[in-house]
A = this chain, B = another copy of it.
Amino acid sequence: MSDTMQRPLDVLGSSVDKRIIVKTKNGEDIIGILKAFDSHINIWLDEAKIEGEKEVKLGKVLIRGDNIVYISPGK
């Protein structure tokens, strides 16, 4: 690979302070504003909520990376 090749986590780097969707291994969609992430894909969201049968408001939340299936900057 060349040094200028993009890396997967660049998707997150360009999404800080923007709304993202985090799909967890138990099938939940957690939506919030990305504040920070690390190499384990631990994620800090603000204004987070769980979408689903009943919406759950979480506010500020730290999601442990090993529970995450995928992350999308939204549709």
Which residues of A34-73 are within 8 A (CB) of B? Answer: 35-38, 41-44, 48, 57-73
Q: How large is the interface on A (under 10, 10 to 19, 20 to 34, 35 or more residues)?
A: 35 or more
Q: Is A10 part of the binding interface, using a Cβ–Cβ cutoff of 8 Å?
A: yes
**How many copies are assembled?**
7
Given A30-B70, A75-B57, A9 and B63 touching (CB < 8 A)? no
Task: Say whether A61 contacts B66, CB under 8 Å.
Answer: no
**CB of A70, distance to nearest CB on chain B (Å):** 5
Chain B residues near A67: list those with CB within 8 A. Answer: 25, 69-70
Residues of A within 8 A of B (CB): 1, 5-13, 24-27, 30, 35-38, 41-44, 48, 57-75
